[in-house]
């Protein structure tokens, strides 16, 4: 289904351009309100946001748009994306709205939506909203205008939810943890979750000023966490992104663990507890070493397209619980309806406590295959799928790699480049194959 404004994860862009303007947000709120009122005469929506300075402007515009359509609004202020999903479900509301551009810099922003059950909404719903944007607005009369109020205890409610996803017996006493909230939406809740479970918490990336979200800190800049671990001699570090749905972890030696490795740990912990793990869902980018290690344990890995939305769709279709991306978007659907960096970190720390092992030991035997990624800028109007030289080079590379590697070629969804990726046990061989295919792609 063709959409003008919605991408793979809501609407996102540079503030002041395209759809990320106050006038568009007013229209969007009104259009969404009209769609909601087809099922509910008097809907109520929850609006949360991250710490970007533009959030105030967009929040006000959305609020006015909803009110003009006769929709009531609850405002949480800064709250992680998964916190909005949880509260929408817990409070039996009709829709959850998040104002955030996740891991992007502060001058971007975006909007994403959650259903009354805390799930991301289907394509059909987004198409209906875009169709409503083309219709002249139908303002309700003054008596029917929506009302707005603040939900003052949103952070506390979400903290309690996060703690409820692990057994009451779990204690983090004796563990020093650095929590990096990327100066984002979790700055005032993430440290408290781990502190209330007994950990000695060191805070970094917890001083937002509206402009510094994701700036040199957080899941996309983990070196700050590595340095803090060494400085404070901490046991573990937890890095979130701007809206706290992404996780990276670091151990006492400064070793960074990505989403693929953390997904493996979560699966192994469930197996150790005699719980069935029929399979997990990764993406086209999930490291082959994790797939091999899971197979040794009798766990199947299924690959979805890149994007947590597609991982979620595959999990739902199969009735499985565990999935994720290398970037740290992890899903544990027996704990939450959407990806949650704090909840995922608790699952990992729980596994560490149960096993009595550190993360490095839990991943013994899982040596990630080296990956070589080369971006090739495409000529205007060219179709890489018709490039016979590239097809021949890919065939030869796959024959040479055999079972010890794989090739992935895909067009970028955000820029006119072709991404050529080779993953192999032998990193030198992988790089040579990738360079040969990249040269063939450029020549075509």
Enzyme catalytic residues? 102
- For the beta sheet containing 176-180, the strands, ordered from the edge strand earlier in sequence to the opposite edge, are 200-204, 176-180, 236-240, 247-251, 256-257
Per-residue tokens: 142: 């003054």
Distance between CA atoms of 9 and 305, rounded to whole angstroms? 13
Alpha-carbon Rg for the chain, nearest whole angstrom, is 23
Query: What count of other Cβ atoms lies within 10 Å of the Cβ of residue 398?
Result: 14
Q: Are 251 and 257 in contact (CB under 8 A)?
A: yes
3-state secondary structure 169-226: CCCCCCCEEEEECCCCCCCCCHHHHHHHCCCEEEEECCCCCCCCCCCCCCCCCCHHHH
Per-residue tokens: 238: 């937890």
Tell me the backbone φ, ψ of residue 75, rounded to 5 degrees. Answer: -110, 130
Distance between CA atoms of 42 and 38, rounded to whole angstroms? 10
CA distances from 299 to 211, 281, 317, 352 (A): 43, 10, 17, 20
Q: Cα 294 to the chain's mean position, in Å?
A: 23
CA distances from 163 to 35, 216, 324 (A): 35, 28, 21
Bridging pattern class, strands 256-257 and 247-251: antiparallel
- For the beta sheet containing 279-283, the strands, ordered from the edge strand earlier in sequence to the opposite edge, are 300-304, 279-283, 322-324, 330-332
Per-residue tokens: 87: 């509260």
Distance between CA atoms of 69 and 29, rounded to whole angstroms? 8
* Angle formed by the axes of helices 154-164 and 341-355, nearest 10°: 30
Distance between CA atoms of 176 and 224, rounded to whole angstroms? 16
């Amino acid at each position: 289904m063709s959409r003008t404004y919605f991408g793979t994860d809501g609407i996102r862009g540079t503030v002041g351009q395209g759809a990320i303007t106050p006038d568009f947000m007013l229209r969007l709120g009104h259009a969404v309100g009209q769609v909601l009122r087809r099922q509910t005469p008097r809907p109520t929506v929850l609006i949360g946001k991250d710490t970007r300075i533009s959030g105030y402007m967009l929040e006000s515009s959305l609020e006015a748009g909803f009110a003009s359509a006769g929709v009531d609004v609850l405002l949480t202020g800064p709250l992680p994306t998964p916190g909005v999903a949880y509260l929408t479900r817990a409070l039996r509301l009709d829709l959850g709205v998040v104002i955030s551009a996740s891991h992007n810099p502060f001058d971007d922003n975006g909007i994403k939506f959650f259903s009354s059950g805390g799930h991301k909404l289907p394509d059909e719903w987004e198409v209906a909203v875009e169709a409503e944007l083309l219709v002249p607005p139908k303002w309700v009369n003054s008596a029917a205008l929506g009302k707005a109020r603040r939900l003052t205890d949103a952070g506390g409610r979400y903290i309690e939810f996060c703690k409820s996803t692990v057994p009451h017996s779990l204690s983090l006493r004796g563990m020093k943890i650095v929590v990096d909230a990327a100066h984002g939406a979790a700055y005032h809740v993430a440290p408290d979750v781990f502190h209330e479970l007994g950990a000695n918490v060191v805070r970094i990336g917890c001083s937002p000023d509206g402009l510094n979200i994701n700036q040199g800190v957080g899941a996309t800049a983990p070196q700050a966490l590595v340095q803090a671990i060494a400085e404070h001699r901490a046991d573990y570090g937890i890095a979130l992104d701007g809206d706290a749905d992404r996780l990276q972890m670091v151990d006492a030696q400064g070793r960074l663990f990505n989403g693929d490795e953390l997904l493996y740990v979560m699966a192994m912990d469930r197996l150790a507890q005699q719980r069935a793990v029929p399979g997990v869902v990764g993406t086209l980018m999930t490291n082959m070493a994790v797939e091999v290690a899971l197979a040794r344990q009798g766990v199947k890995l299924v690959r979805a397209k890149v994007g947590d939305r597609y991982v979620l769709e595959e999990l739902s279709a199969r009735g499985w619980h565990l999935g994720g991306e290398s970037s740290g978007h992890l899903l544990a659907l027996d704990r939450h309806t959407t990806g949650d960096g704090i909840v995922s970190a608790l699952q990992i720390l729980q596994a560490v406590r149960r096993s009595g092992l550190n993360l490095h030991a839990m991943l013994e035997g899982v040596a990630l295959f080296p990956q070589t990624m080369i971006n090739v800028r495409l000529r205007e109007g060219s179709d890489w799928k018709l490039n016979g030289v590239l097809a021949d080079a890919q065939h030869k590379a796959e024959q040479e790699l055999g079972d010890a590697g794989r090739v992935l070629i895909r067009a970028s969804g955000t820029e006119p480049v072709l991404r050529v990726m080779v993953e192999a046990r032998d990193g030198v061989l992988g790089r040579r194959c990738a360079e040969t295919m990249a040269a063939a792609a450029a020549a075509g």
